[in-house]
Structure 1
Amino acid sequence: MKSAKPNQGWKSKLHEIIYEADTPMGKWFDIVLFILIIASVILVMLESVKEIDAEYHQILLSLEWAVTIFFTIEYIARIVSIKKPFKYIFSLYGIIDFVSTIPLYISYIFAGSQVLLAVRALRLLRVFRILKLVQFLGEASQLTKALKASRAKIAVFIYAVLILSVIMGTIMYLIEDDSAGFTSIPRSIYWAIVTLTTVGYGDIAPQTSLGQLIATIVMILGYGIIAVPTGIVTTEFAKQGNTKKDQIHLNTLCCSACSVEGHRDDATHCFNCGNEL
């Protein structure tokens, strides 16, 4: 039992550095990690430029290996320092960390797979922990609830837009000829959707006066259509905001057993597994 105490001590210290953003060492670790993630993504981008890669390939490869080794050690340390490693391994961050670490290794088996290193940009999600912007996560949660609450209205709206696109596309197919690009009803519907959503690729354009008049009407309708889902979601978001004052503030404390975050400031035990914080 005595020998377990120092072992538990270094694991607790390692967990504090790696998982906690509220401690000085944890904050510095996350900042260094953040910088290395950005550097790694930049290295992958530079490597994709043939002129740069031809001249500095060996330097870029060496730097990429240095970053990959650091991430490998960090990934192993995250597993070792937590009481229930499978909770981390199969969590969202755990999967992202693993996927962002292995591409350079498997590139020696499958050529070209190192470009997958760009997925390390997903690890920038940790900026929420680094900068302690927990309130932003709260706002994201409100937006998610607002989208769920308005999904039925949005579904009806999308259905109405599709019907309108089919009608407008069919009319344009009857008015315009093949030389204008309206060679079929599906292609005409494609034009209606592109125009109605104000994207306007310009690959298909009406040539007749009547067709251009209809196109003008569709474009104007597009501006009104954009405002509808925005208004629906905004209303639901406002409703969510009215209940925000009753919510309890959460912190960035990370459970050493299951890696769950978002505990109350006055919490002494993890809400997920009951482990002492």
Structure 2
Amino acid sequence: MPVHSGWGEPSARRLLAHRCREITEARWFAVAVMSLILVNAVLLGLETYSGFAAEWHQALRLAEHLCLAGFTVEILLRFGAHADRPRDFFRDPWNLFDLAVVACAFLPVVSENTTLLRLLRLARVLRTARFLPQLRVLMVAVARSLPGTLSFLLVGALLLYVYAMVGWLFFHESDPAHFGSLGRALLTLLLLMTLDGLGDAVHGGLAYSRWTLLYYGAYVLMASFVLVNVLIGVVINSLEEAKELEQQEEREQQEGLEQGGQAGHELPELRQRIVAARQALDDLEQSLPDPQVQLADGGRR
């Protein structure tokens, strides 16, 4: 009985995924997409020059449509590469990001709003991280360091508030320009965290009391050295974790390719064994006597 294989059949989906995967995994494809992203970034920069944008408005608009068409073809090819396993496409965060960036450009609300459209086009520049492993690791490290960074911000905000209140209590009369209110004190200490204007602040405090050296010294030690080093440690730790994740994903992909290759070699051997077993069964059936003939012989006897 003939079997008609349509595009919904597993064999057709595997063939489509294989063809698309050959394209998306090729080096020229990555170079082409990377070049398209850079062209999109250049076009976005050229539009900031009003004279040039007014003179070449039609050409810039056509180039933008061509870039959008190229990105659409790219995301369709990437989705086609997962035709045999569509769920894996949506498990990859980069695929979801690419899909959102491309799909939002077709929404009427976005296409009619120039500001949103330019922000969306600017987001395409971030897609360079997909083709630059080091930048991808850095972005993953920044994302993983967010919980630690939030804790750092809470501790830093508490430290600023305490020192700002102490500074206001002691210096609001002698130095109202820097400590006249809580807001000014917070701004002054935030700048002092970068050691900007520390000399002027110390000289102004010495005119009031020598004990101000203790105040500024303790604050600079805590804010500029201890907290900043803690933040650097959090980021470095996240960077190491991101590198380990990247290496683990590469190992898993390599193992998957090796297992796929082994399965591809074992499949013909399995088919040969099945064919040989079927042939042996056929030979065994032919060698056995026919039951109807044995019944007939027994009746005659």
If the length of structure 2 is used for normalisation, what is the TM-score? 0.60
5+ residue gaps, structure 2, are: 265-301
Once the two structures are superposed, the pairs formed by residues 185-200 of structure 1 within 5 Å of their partners are 185-198=182-195
More helix by share: 2
Query: What is aligned with 2:37?
Result: 37
What is the rounded CA distance, in whole Å, between the counterparts of 2:98 and 2:33 in structure 1?
12
What is the rounded CA distance, in whole Å, between the counterparts of 2:111 and 2:229 in structure 1?
51
Q: Deviations over 1:231-260 (max 9, x none)?
A: 4466678889999xx9995354xxxxxxxx
- Tell me if structure 1 keeps the 8 A contact 2:173–2:180: no
- Cα distance change of structure 1 residues 56 and 141 upon mapping to structure 2, 3 Å threshold: closer
Q: Highest CA radius of gyration, 1 or 2?
A: 2
Structure 1: which amino acid aligns with 2:227?
A: P
5+ residue gaps, structure 1, are: 253-261, 271-275
- Cα distance change of structure 1 residues 168 and 15 upon mapping to structure 2, 3 Å threshold: farther
- Cα distance change of structure 1 residues 169 and 45 upon mapping to structure 2, 3 Å threshold: farther
Q: Per the alignment, in what secondary structure is the counterpart of residue 252 of structure 2?
A: coil
* 2:50 pairs with 1:50: yes
What is the rounded CA distance, in whole Å, between the counterparts of 1:163 and 1:218 in structure 2?
13
What is the rounded CA distance, in whole Å, between the counterparts of 1:264 and 1:79 in structure 2?
18
* 2:134 pairs with 1:103: no
* 2:119 pairs with 1:113: no
Query: What is aligned with 1:165?
Result: 164
- Tell me if structure 2 keeps the 8 A contact 1:150–1:233: yes
* 2:197 pairs with 1:210: no
Identity in percent: 15
Query: What is aligned with 2:129?
Result: 125
Aligned length in residues: 245
Query: What is aligned with 2:23?
Result: 17
What is the rounded CA distance, in whole Å, between the counterparts of 2:101 and 2:240 in structure 1?
40
- Tell me if structure 2 keeps the 8 A contact 1:142–1:240: yes
Structure 2: which amino acid aligns with 1:229?
A: L
Q: Deviations over 1:134-155 (max 9, x none)?
A: 9x8399659947x868986885
Greater relative contact order (CA < 8 Å, ≥ 6 in sequence) = 1
- Cα distance change of structure 1 residues 219 and 36 upon mapping to structure 2, 3 Å threshold: farther
If the length of structure 1 is used for normalisation, what is the TM-score? 0.64
- Cα distance change of structure 1 residues 12 and 50 upon mapping to structure 2, 3 Å threshold: same
CA RMSD, aligned part only? 4.8
